[in-house]
């Protein structure tokens, strides 16, 4: 049964929901404008306008909103997908972004922190080109956006332009413009015949930009230092930030003005993109956007795919597992697993390729691992197959058919197909205790043998627990 929330009752006019979830939302703030003989009709019209105005916001997070009338009042039925993030919502009365919608991970912020760090911060939030949120959103941990800013500043450091700047130095031989007066008055009487004061142009890094980056990194580090209690992933971000600071430590940190940022010379091509993104990150830091907890300033709208994050996490786990038991790993992220589908004649818009998440070649067996950020595993273990809704059972069948399609084009005689789902820590501990964390079935066809496996992993696996997953890659 979907839960019910009231947008008006949420402090600060912020609505937060979980990903992969459905809720009924009471838009009480509209009812005060529904005056007349038929208030339900007016409310329904305002709800439809609300849906229309916020179509782009809902689409950014793959939300499916619908108006719902239960005979008593009009509500908003909201179904979330696997995206999380924060977006503004427009009021149908003022036509301004008066509200904020937050979609948070159903496994909790402390769940995605270890995932981001374990994957080497490969998957990060994307900042949206939308109006700023009305308030600094404390429901989202500040380190989430700090990770984006640090990655952008790293890209900017790598693209720092070099230019000629006038330099004053002492050299053993004359170079550029020489101060012969100083040489005659001060150097010769002291016997410093090889100490010549020279003034000349030298190719150097853009010190003004370096100073701005140094300032932004210092601010980010200060923000992260206040969040140490979130976990080791924040400590890793602090180390990451300190490493970047070392690269610009020769430039004195300087707080830039908006005019200084706008006047920075732009590059071309990829350098221009890195420059623009980096300067934008500096501007956010200066204005304390995305540094929730440091001030009641506007927040940044953003989104991130939990499905992509979980796929990156599964890849990182399989990399560790492959190093333990041996084998050669290929990943979809590196475009190493794509299997083209050639339609004759070509069909526009149809499936053009098969792309399993991870392939591991080990001895004479091909292991196919596909990550699925879905609730199937929790549902199967808590409710059983016969108690599942038909829609969930249908999606589970599609997962199986998909991984079997990957197996059908493989040339090896021994194939293992594994579907990996996320699960909560308590579910994982219970499954390990009962020896039921991996379920398998064999399919034999002529000389080929295909083993299908279903398993789940929590969002944090310690090195000592990797042995429980070795069966995934055992022949």
pLDDT means per 10 residues, the chain with 475 residues, are: 50 75 75 62 80 92 84 79 90 85 82 73 82 65 81 86 75 90 91 90 77 92 82 84 91 87 64 82 79 46 89 89 90 83 65 81 87 69 51 68 77 84 85 83 78 85 82 74
Paired strand residues for 79: 22, 64
Does residue 131 form part of some domain? no
| Same domain as 359, residue 285 | no
Does residue 326 form part of some domain? yes
Does residue 135 form part of some domain? no
Does residue 440 form part of some domain? yes
For residue 133, the 8-state DSSP code is B
d(CA 72, CA 465): 52
Q: Look at the chain and count its residues.
A: 475
Instruction: Supply the pLDDT for residue 215.
Output: 93
Instruction: Supply the pLDDT for residue 9.
Output: 41
| Same domain as 467, residue 419 | yes
Does residue 75 form part of some domain? yes
d(CA 200, CA 329): 54
What are the CA-CA distances from residue 285 to residues 5, 85, 156, 176, 206 (Å)? 33, 19, 14, 40, 20
| Same domain as 269, residue 217 | yes
Domain count, the chain: 4
| Same domain as 287, residue 315 | no
Q: DSSP for 338-383, please give it.
A: -EE---SS--TTS--EE--SEEEEETTEEEEEEE--SSHHHHHHHH
What are the CA-CA distances from residue 27 to residues 20, 104, 248, 356 (Å)? 21, 20, 50, 42
What are the CA-CA distances from residue 349 to residues 352, 384, 395, 396 (Å)? 8, 37, 22, 24
| Same domain as 333, residue 192 | no
Instruction: Supply the pLDDT for residue 77.
Output: 84
Range of the domain at 238: 142-161+208-300
What are the backbone angles phi and psi of residue 5, rounded to the nearest 5°? Answer: -130, 155
Paired strand residues for 441: 452
Query: Contact at 8 Å (CB) between 84 and 128?
Result: no
CA neighbours within 13 Å on the CB side: how many for 104?
Answer: 18
The pTM of the full predicted model, rounded to 2 decimals, is: 0.73
Does residue 191 form part of some domain? yes
| 75 closest CA partner among 30, 140, 120 | 30
| Same domain as 260, residue 310 | no
Token pair in block for residue 80: 């979330």
| Same domain as 269, residue 360 | no
């Amino acid at each position: 049964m979907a839960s019910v929330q009231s947008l008006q009752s949420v402090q600060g006019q912020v609505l937060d929901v979980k990903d992969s979830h459905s809720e009924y939302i009471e838009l009480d703030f509209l009812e005060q404008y529904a005056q007349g003989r038929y208030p339900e009709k007016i409310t329904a019209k305002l709800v439809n306008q609300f849906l229309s105005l916020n179509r782009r916001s809902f689409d950014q997070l793959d939300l499916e909103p619908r108006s719902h009338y239960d005979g008593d009042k009009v509500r908003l039925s909201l179904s979330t997908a696997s995206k999380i993030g924060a977006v503004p919502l427009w009021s149908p009365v003022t036509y301004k972004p008066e509200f904020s919608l937050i979609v948070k991970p159903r496994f909790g912020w402390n769940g995605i922190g270890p995932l981001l760090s374990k994957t080497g911060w490969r998957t990060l939030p994307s900042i949206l080109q939308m109006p700023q949120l009305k308030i600094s959103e404390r429901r989202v941990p500040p380190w989430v956006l700090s990770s984006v800013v640090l990655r952008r500043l790293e890209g900017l450091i790598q693209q720092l332009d070099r230019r000629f700047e006038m330099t004053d130095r002492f050299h053993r031989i004359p170079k550029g413009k020489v101060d012969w007066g100083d040489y005659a008055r001060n150097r010769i009487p002291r016997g410093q015949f090889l100490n010549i004061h020279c003034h000349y142009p030298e190719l150097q890094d853009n010190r003004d930009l370096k100073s701005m980056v140094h300032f932004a990194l210092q601010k980010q580090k200060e923000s992260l230092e206040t969040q140490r209690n979130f976990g080791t992933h924040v400590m890793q971000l602090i180390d990451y930030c300190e490493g970047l600071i070392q690269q610009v430590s020769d430039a004195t940190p300087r707080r830039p003005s908006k005019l200084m940022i706008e006047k920075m010379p732009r590059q071309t091509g990829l350098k221009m993109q890195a420059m623009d993104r980096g300067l934008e990150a500096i501007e956010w830091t200066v204005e304390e956007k995305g540094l929730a907890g440091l001030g009641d300033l506007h927040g940044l709208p953003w989104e991130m795919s939990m499905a992509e994050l979980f796929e990156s996490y599964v890849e990182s786990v399989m990399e560790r597992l492959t190093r333990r038991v041996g084998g050669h790993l290929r990943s979809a992220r590196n475009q190493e697993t794509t299997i083209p589908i050639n339609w004759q004649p070509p069909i526009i818009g149809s499936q053009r390729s098969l792309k399993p998440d991870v392939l591991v070649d080990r001895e004479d067996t091909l292991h196919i691992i596909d990550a699925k950020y879905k609730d199937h595993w929790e549902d199967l273990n808590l409710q059983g197959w016969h108690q599942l809704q038909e829609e969930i059972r249908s999606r589970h069948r599609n997962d199986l058919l998909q991984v079997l399609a990957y197996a059908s084009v493989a040339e090896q005689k021994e194939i293992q197909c594994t579907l990996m789902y996320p699960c909560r820590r308590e579910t994982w501990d219970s499954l390990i205790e009962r020896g039921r964390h991996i379920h398998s079935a064999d399919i034999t066809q002529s000389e080929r043998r295909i083993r299908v496996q279903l398993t789940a992993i929590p969002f944090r696996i310690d090195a000592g627990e990797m042995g429980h997953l070795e069966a995934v890659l055992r022949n």
